[in-house]
Structure 1
């Protein structure tokens, strides 16, 4: 076991949703001046997915029309988590969007990101990565964040 005296102090936050305990992780952790957010998704305070995608018989999304609504709820959750550390989206330096459909995410991101960051060109490094699946089949997007506070 590592020497506990040499570990940095960590402050953590979460939503208390079931998958935090099932998977075994925290939603956010602050070490020194940096806040790291685990992959965030579009859930409400009860852990229900907001705007879940409709699935076909094989369990894959049949359309991506709920991408914008999922993205909006995901950013809302990000704002709530950052507030636990006294931070806002102004403190975000990097974000990574993992998406099931890149064209749908690209179309939604331009509008939603500008809305949440309050700028035509948000001052944040951003990555948009297409993936084949996420934690829940109805999920179209997951966003990780790194923020720096003083």
Structure 2
């Protein structure tokens, strides 16, 4: 008997253009695609970029991180889950120093505790899907 799979999306253009869903539940596991700082089709706290598309200021890292967790929580709720169900996360960041400075406070706030009970990895990358993005967070939750 085939396992029932549930998928969820936000309905933003880049899902259709790239060809993916935001989350997939298979069995008791929910895999979230990398969450970025957007509210509908609009980026939240976009980083300023120069004419070549290079980020000129990383000051919006914490604000973008907060929106990533907010979007993740929205998706998880569709599966009857919360951030408390997250067991693993990967943070892809454009500036590791700015992300490291923001991550402790933002993660503790998002998970609602001083010691988030989640495996976590941070990876630096030269750029994300849109030049104005500073953070993308991929999560796995167990129900």
TM tier, smaller: over 0.9
> Residues of 2 paired with 1:20 and 1:42: CA distance?
14
2:94 maps to what in 1?
100
Give TM-score, length-normalised by structure 1. Answer: 0.93
> How well do the aligned residues superpose, as a CA RMSD in angstroms?
0.9
Give every structure 1 segment of 4 or more consecutive aligned residues whose post-TM-superposition deviation is greater than 3 Å: none
- Secondary structure of 1:38's partner? strand
For structure 2, the 5+ residue unaligned runs are none
- How many corresponding residue pairs? 143
Cα displacement (A) at 1:27:
0.2
Q: Greater strand percent: which structure?
A: 2
The aligned residue for residue 125 of structure 1 is 119
- Among 7, 10, 33, the residue aligned to 1:12: 7
Residue 8 of structure 1, CA deviation: 2.8
Q: What does 1:36-47 correspond to in 2, within 5 Å?
A: 36-45=31-40, 47=41
**Which residue of 1 is the match for residue 23 of structure 2?**
28
